[in-house]
Structure 1
């Protein structure tokens, strides 16, 4: 019998919900935008680096990376944002999100395959699929590995 897996759910844009498997999350922390050290000549969704555990943690505006309006449009520098720290093979990346929601218990066999008609080209490469929750709402299952291995990083990491 398949066991449900734990996922962290959070807002994507204003209306959408996304989940990432807890197995791929190292830590969740609050960061104010003013504490992020900007790096020139980067894509606008790469917010810069943050001092985390005495290491440089790259931070990304996940909304903007996936084609939503940037978080910086709606937040001032003092607002605390939530950062989800992903780890894969010793590589870390922080995803800034609008708001964390909950821990979801989901069955992988209930995940539906992402179809190109449903999702924009900016989000498709980072999707493993999606779940339909109890309220009949879609929850995008983001692929942490695909985000970490996105071509934008290969130049900077």
Structure 2
């Protein structure tokens, strides 16, 4: 039997230039969010936007781009358009991650993963990144560590 592991991951962008992905088994739902439904919570870390109602539950919302060291996705004009939220789960914990754009499902082989992202991308906090994958066009995609993010926001 072949030891080669192939994971299915969802790609998404943090901004127009930076793409990332997460394992599809950690993705519960893709939500098109009306920003006017977000309730800000005072005295929270800067990346925590607030909470919003989702199918009978209150879901915490984190700006993933801002958490990873990029420009925040919500700007003063954010009320004008719907936003993409990835509802992620792991070990019974759930969180909404605000992203710039949702991409597509990608098949990723284990040997494609580079495990030392801090040597390549210094602006990204390494604790939330598992590695980097280069696609067939040579572009780099960050592999987001959902477990680390959920642990940080317990």
For normalisation by structure 2, the TM-score amounts to 0.91
Determine if contact 1:126/1:143 at 8 Å carries over to the other structure.
yes
Deviation per residue, 1:54-106 (Å, 9 max, x gap): 11100000011111111112752131111111111221000000101111111
The residue that corresponds to 1:89 in the other structure is: 91
1:149 alignment partner, SS class: helix
Determine if contact 2:12/2:99 at 8 Å carries over to the other structure.
yes
Equivalent positions of 1:45-60 (< 5 A) are 45-60=47-62
Structure 1: distance between partners of 2:25 and 2:98: 18
Structure 1: distance between partners of 2:99 and 2:120: 22
CA RMSD in angstroms, aligned pairs only: 1.6
Deviation of 1:14 (Å): 2.6
Gaps of 5+ in 2: none
Deviation of 1:108 (Å): 1.8
Match among 29, 33, 36 for residue 38 of structure 2:
36
The residue that corresponds to 2:128 in the other structure is: 126
The residue that corresponds to 2:139 in the other structure is: 137
Structure 2: distance between partners of 1:102 and 1:124: 24
For normalisation by structure 1, the TM-score amounts to 0.90
Cα distance, 1:139–1:54 mapped onto 2, change above 3 Å: same
Determine if contact 1:114/1:127 at 8 Å carries over to the other structure.
no
The residue that corresponds to 1:4 in the other structure is: 6
Structure 2: distance between partners of 1:108 and 1:136: 17
Pairs aligned (count): 152
Structure 1: distance between partners of 2:59 and 2:78: 21
Cα distance, 1:98–1:74 mapped onto 2, change above 3 Å: farther
Structure 2: distance between partners of 1:36 and 1:70: 15
Gaps of 5+ in 1: none
